Structure 1
């Protein structure tokens, strides 16, 4: 579904992605792993058009992401949830969610909104609450739900576990697995917690200083003790 070839992205003299090549199959979770500074977040920002590569290509079902304006990514079926749980705290939960469906009529937003509330019952219970009062875990659910309002084909998710309790992380990861299995969603998951990411992923991509170290099935990566110690921290 996602095909990345020789992708190179630089910040001035610093090369953050160095001729990166891999693919992410449809209806699967591909975990992008590596230490801080490996290029994981830059990869997601490049795929969603927030930064432009200096070389290479990235295609989503044949559509050229490199030349697509950021504001047009949603129309291709791509949704990006950056690190940091960026909710608009002055708006209610439902108002935040509806922002994810901008460009749709209220009627066409109804089904995705119902789906999000089914996936996240806590958001349904607090749909009229101001987002400022939500916990960190609830805010993470809200930003994922907002991305799902666009009914994406592929979800780019950056560090969803950061700063959350293990119980909440487990809930969010279980939800991602269920979305893949029930809805056929494709997920590109950037995650510092490599052990947890590999436990739900189908495939893994390990980066080091912007370069590809290995791309293989998640179970193979998790079983490789030398790789885990060298690059994944467990």
Structure 2
């Protein structure tokens, strides 16, 4: 297990002993990333690694810096320090519009769809800045998400929350990213739908070698599907370890994860 910044919070005496995460080649390597909103430091030297074929869950309370971390990695927020390296290439200062071509897709919190357009039209709009996207790519998305395939001609405003989440994830997958950033995909959804979406994400990771960086408030569900967990507190990494080890650490869960 990797502990950072010398936190003395309850539970870390157990969490800091032994264990360890996988040591394969990182597809995404975040090194000492810091970011601020005016005088407020939202990230303070965050480092993490995400490997191909693995889900890395970023966990923590509201205000821990989870969403800011994804926004900084994808270029929506400019860091004040640190580096973001994707497959050996420094992309820290790359423009947001270039990230898709470099192999990264970001699904932000909120399930943003264009309500008046159909499912199929939403997918086509989402593909416009990704360059040429073939029919087979659309068919692949519909194969992955049969529920939205059944509703491809329906306006997006008629979809349920879970179906909208499937649509925005499918839209991101059109570019065949190597790294997928997922921000709070379970927000507002019923547990059964959350399990279905997480199961589909796990299937993609296992079958296609996708690397997923998953930000989640629902720590229990995230750890059940993730390989590695990274716990943030006030913009700093508290601990990094195997997801099952984190889930089993009762003191750590109570101190930082709320279950």
Q: Deviations over 1:115-170 (max 9, x none)?
A: 11001101111111111111111101100000001111111000000000111101
Which of 46, 60, 80 matches 2:106?
Answer: 80
Q: Distance in 2 between matches of 1:101 and 1:183?
A: 20
SS in 1 for 2:134: helix
SS in 2 for 1:86: coil
1:162 aligns with 187
2:61 aligns with 35
Q: Distance in 2 between matches of 1:47 and 1:100?
A: 20
1:213 aligns with 238
Q: Deviations over 1:51-105 (max 9, x none)?
A: 1000011111112221100000000110000000000111110111122322433
1:94 aligns with 120
2:199 aligns with 174
Query: Please, which moves more after superposition, 32-41 or 19-28?
Result: 19-28
Map 1:9-158 → 2, pairs under 5 A: 9-102=35-128, 103-105=130-132, 108-158=133-183
Is residue 98–residue 109 contact of structure 1 (8 Å, CA) maintained in 2?
Answer: no
What TM-score, normalized to structure 2? Answer: 0.88
Residue 223 (structure 1) shift? 1.0
Residue 26 (structure 1) shift? 1.3
Q: Distance in 2 between matches of 1:213 and 1:112?
A: 39
Q: Distance in 1 between matches of 2:151 and 2:225?
A: 28
CA RMSD in angstroms comes to: 0.9
SS in 2 for 1:74: coil
1:232 aligns with 257
Q: Distance in 1 between matches of 2:258 and 2:40?
A: 25
Q: Distance in 2 between matches of 1:154 and 1:99?
A: 21
- Residues paired across the two proteins, number: 232
Q: Distance in 1 between matches of 2:50 and 2:192?
A: 28
Higher relative contact order (CA 8 A, sep 6+): 2
SS in 1 for 2:30: strand
Which of 216, 222, 232 matches 1:197?
Answer: 222
SS in 1 for 2:200: helix
Residue 183 (structure 1) shift? 1.1
Query: Please, which moves more after superposition, 15-24 or 29-38?
Result: 15-24
